[in-house]
Amino acid sequence: MANSISRLEKLYFRLEAQVACLAFAFSEIATRPGLVFELGLGHGRTFDHLRKNLPSREIYVFDRQVDSYPDCTPDTEHIILGELSQTLPVAASRFAGKVILAHCDVGSFSAEHNKTMSTIVSAHLPPALADGALILSDLPLAIPETTRLPLPPGAREDRYFIYRFSSSRT
Amino acid sequence: MANSISRLEKLYFRLEAQVACLAFAFSEIATRPGLVFELGLGHGRTFDHLRKNLPSREIYVFDRQVDSYPDCTPDTEHIILGELSQTLPVAASRFAGKVILAHCDVGSFSAEHNKTMSTIVSAHLPPALADGALILSDLPLAIPETTRLPLPPGAREDRYFIYRFSSSRT
């Protein structure tokens, strides 16, 4: 056997964790009202997964530009383009307390970029969150009002993070 | 539940099948000599998986150009660049009967492209294959000297193909 996982396994385990965490989140929020923030559209695969599994939710997607499959692109009212440091504070104010699920997929191969993105999300996402909201993130976040939850069964990879937001904390 | 799988699940199931099929192949060829052909380098994830799991095998990788992660790029002696219709016949002649495992990942979203690639691989790969060689492919192939094998347990997705080559057939 190999000593370390291959890049193929890395992507596979990452998707496995993502699918398992999203299934957990879909179940957890089933009885709670609220909308969804997707930070990072990318090719639109996760957006497609969100809309298929949450057909009655409004989903707002953030990215710098549209680079998704044509059939995985949100309509113009639900895509918010620009730098997250600019767009997230505005959206968090517009949708204050209404977001029940935030999925954050804004990491890259640059540690410096990841630290910056984690800081931006940690600083500007909280005002948007409803009490009990879940945050799923590819980067560790530092939001005092959240508790980190264990990953659900089926998620082998530990580089994925689930936080629950409580408006009564700190 | 969603009526059809999402693009996220599609990629996830595809990787799941690929990892399971490769594990099956590694076990099957363990006691057989021979080298490996990887048709389609892409980002180099599968090449990384092959070299980690088959550290003593020579692996020759084919693609039009190098677009892989720097740490997943074969050395210049083991990468064969150009159109597969040109490079594969030459390589199959050079390594006649010596390939024990061929991994083919040359499909795209274009049905026409896929048909062309399937025809090229089916026509020009066989002379390279050792008796008992396995072919793993993202496209269906039409090689008379092969038998299609069932996918191993753990592979949910059926759009992946395993063939065993027998030089005594037809």
B48 CB neighbours in chain A (<8 A) are: 6-8
DSSP class of B152: P
Across the interface, whether the CB atoms of B18 and A8 are under 8 A apart is answered: yes
Mind telling me how many Å the CA of A16 is from chain B's nearest CA?
A: 7
Are B30 and B96 in contact, with CB atoms under 8 Å apart?
A: no
Cβ separation B19–A9 shorter than 8 A: yes
pLDDT of residue A158: 67
Distance (Å, whole) CA B62 – CA B40:
6
Size of interface A-B (CB pairs under 8 A): 71
Amino acid, single-letter form, for residue B166: S
Nearest CB to A8: which of B1, B8, B45?
Answer: B45
Phi, psi of B86 (to 5 degrees): -95, -45
Helix axes A45-53, B7-28, angle to 10 degrees: 120
- Mapped onto helix, strand or coil, the DSSP state of residue A85 is helix
pLDDT in tens, B63-99: 999 988 888 999 999 999 999 999 999 999 999 999 9
> For residue A137, what are the β-bridge partners?
A104, A161
Q: Is the pLDDT of residue B126 over 50?
A: yes
* Residue B169, pLDDT score: 64
Q: How many CB atoms lie within 10 A of CB A58?
A: 14
Q: What average pLDDT is seen over chain A?
A: 93
pTM reported for the whole predicted model: 0.87
Terminal C-alpha separation, chain A: 47
pLDDT value for B2: 43
Q: Do B8 and A18 touch (CB under 8 A)?
A: yes
Taking any CB pair shorter than 8 Å as contact, residues of chain B touching chain A are: 1-4, 6-12, 15-16, 18-19, 22, 43-46, 48-49, 52-53, 69, 72
For residue B44, the chain A residues in CB contact (below 8 A) are: 7
B51 min Cα distance to partner chain A (Å): 9
Q: Which residues of B touch A72 (CB under 8 A)?
A: 7
Please report which confidence band the pLDDT of residue A1 belongs to, taking 50, 70 and 90 as the band edges.
very low
Contacts of A2 in chain B (CB under 8 A): 52-53
Chain A's closest residue to B50, CA to CA, is: A6
CA distance B35 to B152: 22
Q: For residue A27, what is the nearest residue in chain B, using CA coordinates?
A: B1
Residue B158 pLDDT greater than 70, yes or no = no
Judged by DSSP in three states, B144 sits in: coil
Report which of B140, B47, B144 is spatially closest to residue B101, judged by C-alpha positions.
Answer: B47
Gap between the Cα atoms of A137 and A139, Å rounded: 5
Where do the DSSP E strands lie in chain A?
35-39, 59-63, 79-81, 99-104, 129-137, 146-149, 161-165
**Mean pLDDT, range B117-128, rounded to an integer:** 97
The nearest alpha carbon in chain B to A26 belongs to: B1
Collect all residues of chain B within an 8 Å Cβ-Cβ radius of residue A19.
Answer: 8-9, 12
Which residues of chain A make contact with B1, given a CB cutoff of 8 A?
53
User: Which ipTM value was assigned to this complex?
Assistant: 0.91
**Across chain A, which distance is largest between two alpha carbons, in Å?**
52
